[in-house]
Amino acid sequence: MNSIAAEQLKTLKISIYRYDPDIGKKPYMQSMDIDIPKDKDIMVLDALQLAKEIDPTISFRRSCREGVCGSDGMNINGKNGLGCITPLSEAVRGNKLELRPLPGLPVVKDLIVDMTQFVDQYKKIQPYLITDKETNGKEIPQTVEDRDKLDGLYECIMCGCCSTACPSFWWNPDKFLGPAALLQAYRFISDSRDVATEERLDQLEDAFSVFRCHGIMNCVSVCPKGLNPNKAINEIKKMLFKRAV
C-alpha cells in the first residue's frame, strides 16, 4: 500500500462498529472518509488497515491476508465474509462500506467477537480421527475415491462466517452445533480411516445438535471457501434417519 501516494485516489465512506468495554459507552458506528486507489480494486481488509492508520484504536483480527487462516471474518455491508479476500468492488454499495462484527457472538471489542462458544461446539464433535486400523508403521491405506470424499469438507478454516450467519445458531448456540462444527463432524464420518461413525452419530441424535438446522442455507451463501455445510448436514440427517428405521 506504500505506493498509494503516487496513485490516483478517491474517497470511500467507511463506517465501522465501535465498542470498547473499558469505556462505559454504548456501541456506535464510527464513520470516516478514507483515500483509496482509484484504479486498483483493494480488499476490505486493506481499507480497514487504511482506517486504522487514521485511527489506531480500531481493533480487528487479521493474519494471513489471503483467505486461509480465518481470522478476519466480519459482517461486510450486511453479509458475512473474510475482509482479506473480499474486494471493494464486490462489497461496496453506493460508495459506502459498513463493517460490523460477526453477528450472534458476544463482542469483545470493535470487530472482535468472542469465539469461545464456536470453538466449544467444534470440540464437541471430537474433531480428530478415531481409528484402530493397522498401520505397520506406515500410512493407513486410502483409495483415491475415498480420499475424494473429504474434498469440500477438510478445507474449513474455522472463520465462523457460516455459524454466525445461521438463525438456528443465534437461537441455540449452546445446543445446536452450527454448520461449521457439523461440516467437521461429517468430515470425520466420511473418512474411510475413521471407525467411530456409530459413536459420532449417537452424539448427534438429539433434537438440537443437528436437527435445529432448517435448511435456511445462509451458511452456503456466505462460506468464503465455497463449502457446503448444508449438504453435509443433510447427509448426517439421512444417516440418522436410516439408522432409526
Q: Which helix (H) or strand (E) holds 185?
A: helix 178-189
CB 150 within 8 A of CB 99: no
Contact call for residues 182 and 213 (beta carbons, < 8 A): yes
Tell me whether residue 225 or residue 237 sits nearer to another protein (CB atom).
225
∠ at Cα 114 (113, 115), nearest 5°? 105
CB atoms within 10 A of CB 107: 17
* Residue with Cβ nearer another protein (43 or 210): 43
* Nearest approach, Cβ of residue 89 and another protein (Å): 10
Residue bearing cell 450472534? 104
- Point out which residues pair with 17 in neighbouring strands: 29
- Judged by CB, which is closer to another protein: 108, or 216? 108
- Identity at 132, one-letter amino acid code: D
Nearest distance from residue 216's CB to another protein, in Å? 26
CB of 240 to another protein, least distance (A): 23
Q: How far is the CB of 200 from another protein (least distance, A)?
A: 14
SS3 103: coil
Listed in sequence order, the residues at least 6 apart from 64 whose beta carbon sits closer than 8 Å to its beta carbon are 71, 84
Q: Minimum CB separation from another protein for residue 155, in Å? A: 6
Give 30 or 59: the residue with its C-beta nearer to another protein. Answer: 59
CA atoms within 13 A on the CB side of 97: 27
Please name the amino acid found at residue 136.
N
Set of cell numbers at residue 195? 471407525
Q: Look at residue 14 and give its three-state secondary structure.
A: strand
Question: How far apart are CB 97 and another protein at their closest, in Å?
Answer: 18
Given the complex with another protein, which of 64 and 240 has the nearer CB atom? 64
**Residue number with CB closer to another protein (28 or 171):** 28
Least distance from another protein to the Cβ atom of residue 112, Å: 5
Contact 105, 121 (CB under 8 A): no
* Footprint of another protein (CB under 8 A): 2, 20-23, 52-53, 56-57, 59-71, 85, 87, 108-110, 112, 115, 119, 123, 126-129, 131, 135, 137-144, 146-147, 150, 154-155, 157-158, 188, 191, 193-194
CB nearer to another protein: pick between 67 and 173: 67
